[in-house]
Amino acid sequence: MSCPKIAIGKELSGCKNVITLGMRPNFEDYTPQEQRLIYEAETIYFPTFFYAGLFKTMGKKTFPSYECYQYACNKIKQTALFKLLQIPHPKTRTFYGDRQKRQILKYFKYPFIAKIPRGSARGKGVFLIRNESELSTYNKMTHVAYIQEYFPLERDLRVVVIKNQVILAYWKVKKRGEYRCNVARGATIVFDDIPSEAIDLALKVSQQCNLDNVGIDICFYNGRYYVLEANMKYGLKAFALAGIDYKKMLSQMIEDGIL
């Protein structure tokens, strides 16, 4: 008899084939039966950031992978990882503290992109820096300056990869007058003419980085594809537009033994 499927996070709550226990930082707050389920489960689904590393230390498999939590919403670590793995990525540097920030203009010319390096999402914390005044304002917001070359794009591509399968791919066409291609910033979702080269790159990156539940943002600029970032919280609006019930899809993938 197979062990029940166990989840910690709420993402699969309501799925008939998964028991969602909820996140309790005091492990003793789980009942003895719940603790036994955790110990016996082959895979823990959506372990949460708190438990992902703990389960990895135990040798317990999780979905999403530990790396999905390790690199989520951390642009500094993602950039370092992309460089280590020689993944094509726009020129990017981090500058720590006021002393290093004074070196920014030695490496970048206006305009360039500046981001809040940790915790920002949905286009928040992303700034187009065009002059000294805008740079000064940005530098006051964060101890660590995360600076990236500016590509004047009309659109970029998001490829959602789950367990080495491309589940969905779509263009995000930016809103007029906007420099960010974020759906949360008014970008339009377009499913047509998805380039196979970008799909192949997304699959390769997800495998190299061990990101098994990720939306990879890719752009094409000056004849080359670049990976902009990896999104572990990739939004579900495009799934709804494509007629995909996200939670039902995951539940079926579990049922089929894919997850």
> Over 90: is that where the pLDDT of 3 sits?
no
205/82 Cα distance (integer angstroms):
9
What per-residue confidence (pLDDT) applies to 120? 64
What per-residue confidence (pLDDT) applies to 186? 85
State pTM to two decimals: 0.93
256/259 Cα distance (integer angstroms):
8
235-249 residue pLDDT tens: 899 999 999 999 999
Record the tokens describing residue 125, joined without a space.
């914390």
80/51 Cα distance (integer angstroms):
24
Per the prediction, the chain carries an average pLDDT of 95
149-191 residue pLDDT tens: 999 999 999 999 999 999 999 999 999 888 988 898 889 999 9
Domain 155-255 bears CATH identifier 3.10.350.10: no
249/251 Cα distance (integer angstroms):
5
Record the tokens describing residue 98, joined without a space.
């006021």
For 91-149, give the CATH class.
alpha beta
DSSP tag of 4: P
Average the pLDDT over 200-205 and give the result. Answer: 98
In contact, 4 and 19? CB cutoff 8 Å = yes
Domain boundaries, the chain: 6-63, 91-149, 155-255
> Over 70: is that where the pLDDT of 40 sits?
yes
What per-residue confidence (pLDDT) applies to 1? 52
What per-residue confidence (pLDDT) applies to 178? 87
99-125 residue pLDDT tens: 999 999 999 999 999 999 986 666 578
